[in-house]
Chains A and B, each alone.
Chain A
Amino acid sequence: DGGITQSPKYLFRKEGQNVTLSCEQNLNHDAMYWYRQDPGQGLRLIYYSQIVNDFQKGDIAEGYSVSREKKESFPLTVTSAQKNPTAFYLCASSSFREHIGTEAFFGQGTRLTVV
């Protein structure tokens, strides 16, 4: 089945620790995105990538890092510099047709908690 997979579903981080969230898609989409969602809030863009080996900062990139070495994969690392990382993280992918974005497909999310 085609889709986008995030893992793990739940993740616990100790203070000062880096953690990496996985996002894989087999939809052959060029573009991938990471969003953060806090309780009762909308989605805020962390990083996005429109092509392999290239990515751009979103609105809240501080304390996060990404890589895009393969088309299928876009892992997000939450570093110790992110002071308030407890949130729900969503990964998405989409295609572009004639430079116009189409619908995005989302993974099921990773809930990160600092302990």
Chain B
Amino acid sequence: SQQGEEDPQALSIQEGENATMNCSYKTSINNLQWYRQNSGRGLVHLILIRSNEREKHSGRLRVTLDTSKKSSSLLITASRAADTASYFCASWNQGGKLIFGQGTELSVKP
């Protein structure tokens, strides 16, 4: 069972442009997280937003959360070629499982 569905599945942009990825989830959450995965590597935690927060920033990352729509977005500003990776949203379900979306594959062309 996938808690999160992400959109788009793939995104290709030029260096310097902004990248926006969206995530929708099904059940109520305490927090929602975004992770990054470079090809063939483990996931790295990027940012966590709590259910009582609407927006959070970390460097060039901006995450929003709309609990009424059960959706979140990740914005990467001024993208760089090194941002090329897959990005996943994840949330905890009531049973203590951390469930991931299918991910967005981001390609940033120099």
Enumerate chain A interface residues (CB-CB to B < 8 A). Answer: 6, 31, 33, 35, 40-43, 45, 48, 50, 56, 58-59, 88, 90, 92, 94, 96, 100-109, 111
Contacts and interface: CB of A to CB of B under 8 A. Distances in A.
Interface in B25-60: 30-31, 33, 35, 40-45, 48
B110 interface: no
Given A41-B102, A42-B88, A43-B88, A56 B43 contact: no
Interface in B79-100: 88, 90, 92, 95-100
28 contacts: A6-B42, A31-B96, A40-B105, A41-B103, A42-B2, A42-B101, A43-B43, A43-B88, A43-B100, A45-B97, A45-B98, A45-B99, A48-B96, A56-B95, A58-B97, A59-B1, A88-B40, A90-B42, A90-B43, A92-B98, A94-B98, A100-B31, A101-B92, A103-B45, A104-B98, A105-B45, A109-B40, A109-B41
Given A42-B2, A43-B88, A101 B41 contact: no
B70 to A, nearest CB: 18
A31 B92 CA distance: 12
Main SS class of interface, A: strand
B36 to A, nearest CB: 11
Contacts of B33: 103-104
A100 B2 CA distance: 19
Nearest to A104: B98
Nearest to B9: A40
Given A42-B2, A100-B92, A109 B42 contact: yes
A107 B101 contact: no
A10 B44 CA distance: 20
A50 B96 contact: yes
Contacts of B102: 41-42
A114 B30 CA distance: 39
A33 B98 contact: yes
Nearest to B91: A101
